[in-house]
Each structure stands twice: as C-alpha cells, then as structure tokens.
Amino acid sequence: MKVIRHESLGIYVYANPRNKREQNFNEVMTEKAEAIRCRRFESVVNERYDFFDKYKLKADFLEHYRKQLRKHDQKWEFVYLHFNNFVHGKCTFEEIDIDLCNKFREYLLTAKKLRRKGRITRNSASGYWSTFRGFLKILYRNGMIKTNVNDFLDKIETEDVVKEYLSVDELYKLAETPCKKPILKIASLFSCMTSLRISDILALCWEDIVDYSAGGKCVHIITQKNKAEDIIPISEEALGLIGYNSEKKGLVFKGLMRSWTQIPMKEWIRSAGITKNITFHSYRRTFATLQAAAGTDIRTIQSIMAHKSITTTQRYIKVVDANKREASKKITLTRKD
C-alpha cells in the first residue's frame, strides 16, 4: 500500500536492543504504534469519504468544551460549569443527542446559581441555553457531531422583568453620599456616565482613553463580554471624576475589587436613601434610560452601548460622531440651579 502521508507519533524504540527487556519494550511500542496507525488511517478514510469517525464519538466532550472556553466570554464558562454539573463530569460526543439536550434545557430552568444562593432566573437560563445551542451548531459545522440537534431544540422564552435603574435625583444622591470604598464610588458614577460594564471598568487602562474624532476624549476598548471594539465619548465632567491625566499609565481603577459590588456597594446605596435593588449593571441601564429621557436618539444610545443582541442589531443604525459627543454631555453629577 502506498503511503499517502507521514505523521510522527513521538514513539521511539531501541535501535539495537541489548537484552530481553529492551526487545520486549520494542515489541510493545511497535504494537501500539501499529494500532494507532490503523486507527489514524481509518480516521483519514472517514474524513475523505464522509464516513463519520466512531473514535470522535467516543472522545471526551467536556474536555473539548473546556478547551474552547479561552476563546469566549464568561457566559461560556458558566454554561460549561452548568453542563458539567448536569452530566456529573462525564460525557462523550456520542451522548450528545436531542434527548440529552432537552434534559439539559429542563435542568437549566431549575438550576441553582453557581456562586450564590438561589436559582438562576428564567432569563439567565434562556441566555445559557442560547449559548449552548450556538456551541452545538459550531460542533455540527465542524463535523464533531453527526446530527444537527440544534434544529430540534426549542428555545427558552424570556420573561419581562422590572429592571432597576437610578432616577436623576437618585443619581444626585449617590454622587453626594460618601462611600467606604472611594474607588468603588468613582467607578460606579463613571459607569453611569459612560455605560461601561464592571468587566470593562476593571480592565480599563489610562491608555484606553484617547482623542475622539469629533473632539474631546473617548474610551476605545475591546469589550470583555463580546470581544468587540467599542468607542465611547467621555464628557469633561467624567474625565474630572476619574482625575484624568495624559501622563498616567496602567489601570484607571487600580485596587477595585469585583466583590465590592456586593456588600460594600449595597451599603453605600442604602446610605444614600435608595431602596431599589441596584446592581452594578443597573448603572448601565441608568445611562440608557437617562439618555433617552434627555432626548438622545435611541439609535445613538445603541451605538454608544455597542448592543449585540439580534433585536438591537436589527434596529442599529450607525450615527455620526457629533451626535455621540453631544450625548456624552447629557449625564452630569452636578445639580442644576
């Protein structure tokens, strides 16, 4: 048979075995190499003639899934952890079928949170399920699973919920109220004025603040969540809030801890007389709501916030930079007389 390709196995034998032990070693390694060669040859034939490789079906699905995490955002990690819990740490590609996937769907609807008490919300389950289905689509496209199971799976419908945000007066109160963690206060108010997520706040560097095409400064980053480019104009007041200086280097909010967005932030908000269930993400909603109330066109807001969902993408229309520049000035921490 003609050799059609060479692949090194990294298996070595004694060129001139000096004793029985070395001879036995050579025999064992030769048998293993031949077994691997036969398996690899079958795999090559399967690929060439479109037979599905049974060895792929026996491969560790969770191991492959885990290797993909570094290419994606944190939601992928959460979905992986939930699926790992669901299958009790064991799953091959052969087991990925419609029945298993539907059972995982049901699991998500009642799953407990990974890091906190309570169950995940229906909307979180919907997002995780959508991410998992997207992964299945990639697997099918890459020939890792033989059936496009995604076509037979129903989505999890989201439900309308009240999403809290700060009113203008509440934002004033927050700006006027001391916080035990001063850097947390600055980061929170900066998020209200720019729409930056906590993940982007934590990663923001002074070098990310650059000249804006329409004048002034802007934040130019690759978002942590979507790995997408985002350009957000910054008002002079926001620059003053963080003490911007073009000579500064490194993290803008150095020392800020994500864990502070729990108890320390809740205490600060309560001390401001605000009883709403405000999370750090509420600041992003505050930005959008107050901009809309101030008359900023919804398309401009979408552009600034770099929304990536299907709905917002369909509505999205790129606007001129001058509109963004005006929008950046509409949220202020100073009361008007």
Give me the CATH number covering residue 191.
Answer: 1.10.443.10
Decide: 69 and 77 in contact? Cβ < 8 Å: yes
Instruction: Give how many domains the chain has, as a whole number.
Output: 3
Say yes or no: 233 and 128 in one domain: no
pTM: 0.59
User: How far, in Å, CA of 231 to CA of 208, rounded?
Assistant: 10
For residue 155, the 8-state DSSP code is P
Domain shared by 34 and 87, yes or no? no
Give domain status of residue 219, yes or no: yes
If asked whether residues 43 and 62 sit together in one domain, one would say no
Angle subtended at Cα 284 by Cα 281 and Cα 289, rounded to the nearest 5 degrees: 125
Instruction: State the SS3 of 65-115.
Output: HHHHHHHCCHHHHHHHHHHHHHCCCCCEHHHCCHHHHHHHHHHHHHCECCC
Helices (H), the chain: 20-49, 54-57, 61-68, 74-86, 98-110, 122-141, 168-176, 182-194, 198-203, 236-242, 263-271, 280-293, 298-305, 310-315, 321-327
Cα separations in angstroms, 254 against 61, 221, 275, 322 = 39, 17, 29, 31
* 66 and 174 housed in the same domain: no
Q: Give Cβ neighbours of residue 105 (< 8 Å, ≥ 6 apart).
A: 129, 153, 154, 156
Tokens representing residue 305 in the block: 């916030």
141 and 180 share one domain = no
Q: Please indicate, yes or no, if residue 2 is contained in any of the structural domains.
A: no
Domain of 119, in residue numbers: 56-152
- If asked whether residues 317 and 261 sit together in one domain, one would say yes
> Do the domain assignments include residue 162?
no
CB-based contact 252:217 (threshold 8 Å)? no
Cα–Cα dist 176/178, whole Å? 7
Domain limit, last residue, from 152, 177, 198 = 152
Q: Give domain status of residue 161, yes or no.
A: no
Residue 62 placed within a domain: yes
Does 92 lie in the same domain as 192? no
Residue 160 belongs to a domain:
no
What is the residue-level pLDDT of the chain in tens, covering all 337 positions? 454 556 676 777 788 888 888 888 888 888 888 877 776 665 555 555 444 556 677 789 999 999 998 888 778 999 999 999 999 999 999 899 999 999 999 999 999 998 888 899 999 999 999 999 999 999 988 888 878 888 899 999 988 766 788 989 999 999 999 999 999 999 999 999 999 999 999 999 999 999 998 899 999 998 888 788 889 999 999 999 999 999 999 999 999 999 999 899 999 999 999 999 999 999 988 888 888 778 787 778 888 887 766 364 233 333 335 556 667 777 788 787 6
Q: Examine residue 335 and state whether it is found in any structural domain, yes or no.
A: no
Q: What is the pLDDT of residue 312?
A: 45
Report the C-alpha gap between 164 and 283 in whole angstroms.
9
273 in a structural domain: yes
Which tokens go with 241? 């809030």
- Domain match, 46 and 63 both: no
Contact by Cβ (8 Å): 108, 125:
yes
pLDDT of residue 337: 64
**Claim to verify: residue 315 and residue 261 sit in the same structural domain:** yes
Other beta carbons less than 10 A from residue 305's beta carbon? 20
- Core vs surface per residue 48-75: b (16+ CB within 10 A) or e: eeeeebeebbeeebeeebeeeeeebeee
User: Based on the domain organization, do 27 and 118 belong to the same domain?
Assistant: no
* pLDDT of amino acid 296: 80
One domain for residues 124 and 205: no
The verdict on 179 and 201 lying in the same domain is: yes
222: which DSSP letter?
E
Quote the pLDDT of residue 133: 95
